[in-house]
A = this chain, B = another copy of it.
Amino acid sequence: MPVNYSTPAPEALFPVTGVRLGTAEAGIRKAHRRDLTLFEFSPGSTAAGVFTQNRFCAAPVTICQRHLAIGTDIRALVINTGIANAATGQRGLQAALVTCSETAKILGCEDRQVLPFSTGVILEHFPTDRLVAALPAAKADLRADNWHAAAHAIMTTDTVAKAASRRIEIGDKTVNVTGISKGAGMIRPNMATMLGFIATDAGIPAGLLHQLVKDAADESFNCITVDGDTSTNDSFVVVATGASGVTFESETSAHWPAIRAAMIDVARELAQAIVRDGEGATKFITVSVGAGNTPSECRAVAYAIAHSPLVKTAFFASDPNLGRILAAIGYAGITDLDASEVRVWLGSGGKEVLVAEAGGRAASYEESSGVQIMKDSEITIRVDLGRGDVGTTVWTCDFSYDYVKINADYRS
């Protein structure tokens, strides 16, 4: 059960002019389950993406980067769940290329205008034939109002489909921003999450879109972690069709801040949904680290806390065993950290209590306050490093029996 999250209703996901989506059963994930998703974009669309930095990056990630390097006038995304096509060598690259060429053939575009994505088990051969056989059904299913179905079709161990949407009025025109994401385990994105796709019918030139996708990733998918495992397939792609009639030329264009904010909002909602649906999650935890010297040291501290199995199991147990948070801060790698300057607060529901200061437990801290806060399902850990004016925020979840169960049973 996700933590305080449910999939938006189909009518809350605004269609994006110039985008159609279709899903089909390819029999890759399991029988009688829609596991193939096709996005079709109108001519003139631009695309940009960020991808995993894992050195065993999946074959489709390699092909996505290759195609985007040739041109950003992307016409289609093809996504399967079930097999990741990662650690599959030359044969895997060939499978991803065939996926693109067969998709291009039925949609009438060039191979390089198709971006492929896969998610699922690593180190298993990719069943190209099954994917190709299902492409006509996915094409026949293409509709503008199919976001809800697409959000379901890209799921793996997700327990809930993830989607978000914003609509902005600019003059007499309407701009839509709608996206979907998937992921629940092997989540510690480094550039992007498992899979995230956002489309807008604003027109955005490739260079500006590339900057936007990076900025949006840095404020969303790059701030989440479930288990610290950076996946081989992480991909986050944004496509702008321009079909709304509203176009932006640069960061100084009128209304650009509004569209940028909408894009980041959607990305953050999709990213947080992944944490809320983290494998076995029962709590959504915000880790805010401030008063640091550099963004990287703040991130190191935030991730040390967010990855600590001891911190995560204490949150699962609703046990304010908060010394574990101090231990994580202490081993995060800031060699000249002055522990006596560090302060830590625990909060929920708009209230927070000072837990530690001057190298130890705060005199005002009472165990009963900690117990009360730990019972909540939305908890904030705030750390003041007492050495600078830089900060960062990371979102994570707790660590439960079900994480072990889900990952011990994944392939069975």
Q: CA separation between A326 and B405, bound complex, in Å?
A: 22
When distances are taken between beta carbons in the complex, the residues of chain B under 8 Å from A54 are 327, 330-331
Chain A interface residues toward B at CB < 8 A = 53-57, 84, 86-92, 121-125, 185-186, 188, 190, 227-232, 307-310, 313-314, 316-317, 319, 321-324, 326-331, 334-335, 337-340, 342, 356, 358-361, 399-401, 403-405, 407-412
A38 to chain B, nearest CB (A): 26
Q: Which 5 A-B pairs have the closest CB atoms?
A: A122-B323, A89-B360, A56-B330, A123-B323, A317-B408
**9 A–B pairs (Cβ distance < 8 Å), ordered by A:** A56-B330, A56-B342, A87-B356, A88-B360, A88-B361, A123-B322, A123-B323, A232-B327, A401-B404
Q: Are B337 and A55 in contact (CB under 8 A)?
A: yes
Q: Are B310 and A407 in contact (CB under 8 A)?
A: yes
Q: Are B87 and A409 in contact (CB under 8 A)?
A: no
A302 to chain B, nearest CB (A): 15
Given contacts A57-B330, A321-B121, A359-B87, contact A309 B401 (CB under 8 A): no
A87 nearest in chain B by CB position? B326
Q: Are A230 and B327 in contact (CB under 8 A)?
A: yes
A91 nearest in chain B by CB position? B360
Q: Are A229 and B324 in contact (CB under 8 A)?
A: yes
When distances are taken between beta carbons in the complex, the residues of chain B under 8 Å from A121 are 321, 323
Q: Are A87 and B53 in contact (CB under 8 A)?
A: no
Given contacts A55-B337, A55-B339, A408-B313, contact A229 B308 (CB under 8 A): yes
Given contacts A90-B359, A309-B227, contact A401 B405 (CB under 8 A): yes
When distances are taken between beta carbons in the complex, the residues of chain B under 8 Å from A84 are 323
When distances are taken between beta carbons in the complex, the residues of chain B under 8 Å from A409 are 317
When distances are taken between beta carbons in the complex, the residues of chain B under 8 Å from A313 are 403-404, 407-408
A84 to chain B, nearest CB (A): 7
Q: CA separation between A327 and B407, bound complex, in Å?
A: 15
Q: Are A361 and B309 in contact (CB under 8 A)?
A: no
Q: CA separation between A227 and B313, bound complex, in Å?
A: 12
Which of A124, A323, A324, A410 has the most B CB atoms < 10 Å from its CB? Answer: A323
Which of A231, A313, A399, A404 has the most B CB atoms < 10 Å from its CB? Answer: A404
Q: CA separation between A109 and B346, bound complex, in Å?
A: 45
